């Protein structure tokens, strides 16, 4: 059954040339859904994700844009007890900003005017599949019940955060970075079982601060970019390295236990452990310790 999306459109006139700035509010009421799949294809601008203040809605949003090519499309339907939500830019092409692009003088102003603010329900388990083209993202999953998370960044600069324990078992976090940067904090709070990271020419920062409640297995692949991983001193880490003589892998307080297999010095006494396969081309991976 397709659910009607309620929204209000406000048109504002700004600037010397009176270019049209449109603000749309899309509010999707909660009707007993047990799970939500969220698919976001965001072409250009600033994307903000956070937990909502009202449990009466699946989504409350405020979306501003000033050119037709950035017009947002919001689609939602219910299939039994499951909701499927898709938000996308009208002319978004997945990967269109990956690898090629030129930041001219107008881009920064356009980013500020094309702004999506999305608040999601705190009580419904949700899977997020997010693709960003060119812009900025602030993705705060604190207080949301996240059971899956996939993030693809073209030329975007994105921060991802968990500041409290995720009460839902999170199957996997997947992060793909193109020319931009991703900083993910509070991964210890995420309650995830698996981590997959692909870093092309950009940079990725992964911080496992928080209360790690289960062991994590993952794979980190680096092309020409850089990855920094921070781990609490109470967590044991095993690294299986796949690299060439041009790669850079910087480990502190690790012992080589087999060919290209390294374990942290606290491995035996650590109650929680992270197992990573790290594949490096011409890039670098650094692992640091945090209190």
| Percent of the chain predicted with pLDDT > 70 | 86
**Could you report the per-residue pLDDT of 178-220, keeping only the tens digit for each?**
999 999 999 999 999 999 999 999 999 999 999 999 999 999 9
Q: Determine the Cα angle at 27 with ends 21 and 32, to 5°.
A: 165
DSSP string spanning 218-247?
Answer: EEEEESSSEEEEEEETTEEEEEEEE--TT-
Residue recorded with tokens 């606290």: 266
Please give the distance of CA 72 from its chain centroid, rounded to a whole number.
20
Residue 280 pLDDT grade (very low, low, confident, very high; cuts 50, 70, 90): very high
Nearest CA to 106 out of 80, 70, 144 is that of 70
- Sign of the Cα torsion 201, 288, 244, 221 reads negative
Q: What is the pTM of this model?
A: 0.88
Local structure of 199: helix, strand or coil:
strand
* Gap between the Cα atoms of 149 and 271, Å rounded: 25
Mean pLDDT of 240-269: 95
pLDDT of residue 52: 96
Residue 11 pLDDT grade (very low, low, confident, very high; cuts 50, 70, 90): very low
pLDDT of residue 245: 87
* Gap between the Cα atoms of 220 and 152, Å rounded: 14
* Gap between the Cα atoms of 12 and 201, Å rounded: 39
Alpha helices in the chain (DSSP H): 107-113
Residue 109 pLDDT grade (very low, low, confident, very high; cuts 50, 70, 90): low
């Amino acid at each position: 059954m397709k659910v009607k999306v309620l929204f209000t459109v406000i048109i504002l006139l700004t600037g010397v040339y009176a270019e049209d700035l449109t603000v749309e509010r899309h509010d999707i009421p909660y009707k007993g859904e047990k799970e939500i799949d969220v698919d976001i294809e965001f072409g250009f601008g600033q994307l903000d994700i956070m937990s909502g203040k009202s449990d009466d809605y699946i989504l409350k949003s405020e979306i501003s844009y000033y050119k037709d090519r950035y017009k947002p499309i919001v689609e939602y339907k219910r299939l039994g007890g499951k909701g499927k939500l898709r938000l996308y830019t009208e002319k978004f092409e997945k990967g269109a900003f990956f690898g090629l692009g030129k930041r001219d003088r107008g881009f920064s102003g356009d980013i500020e005017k094309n702004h999506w603010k999305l608040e999601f329900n705190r009580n419904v388990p949700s899977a997020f599949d997010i693709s960003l083209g060119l812009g900025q993202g602030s993705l705060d999953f604190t207080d949301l019940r996240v059971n899956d998370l996939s993030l693809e960044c073209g030329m975007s600069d994105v921060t991802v955060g968990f500041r409290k324990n995720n009460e839902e078992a999170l199957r996997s976090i997947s992060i793909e970075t193109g020319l931009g940067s991703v900083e993910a904090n509070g991964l210890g709070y995420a309650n995830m079982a698996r981590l997959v990271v692909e870093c092309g020419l950009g940079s990725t920062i992964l911080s496992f601060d928080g209360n790690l409640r289960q062991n994590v297995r993952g794979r980190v692949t680096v092309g020409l970019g850089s990855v920094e991983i921070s781990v609490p001193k109470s967590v044991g880490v095993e690294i299986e390295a796949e690299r060439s003589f041009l790669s850079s892998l910087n480990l502190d307080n690790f012992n080589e236990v087999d060919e290209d297999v390294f374990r942290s010095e606290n491995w035996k006494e650590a109650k929680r452990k992270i197992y990573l396969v790290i594949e490096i081309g011409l890039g670098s991976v650094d692992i640091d310790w945090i209190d």
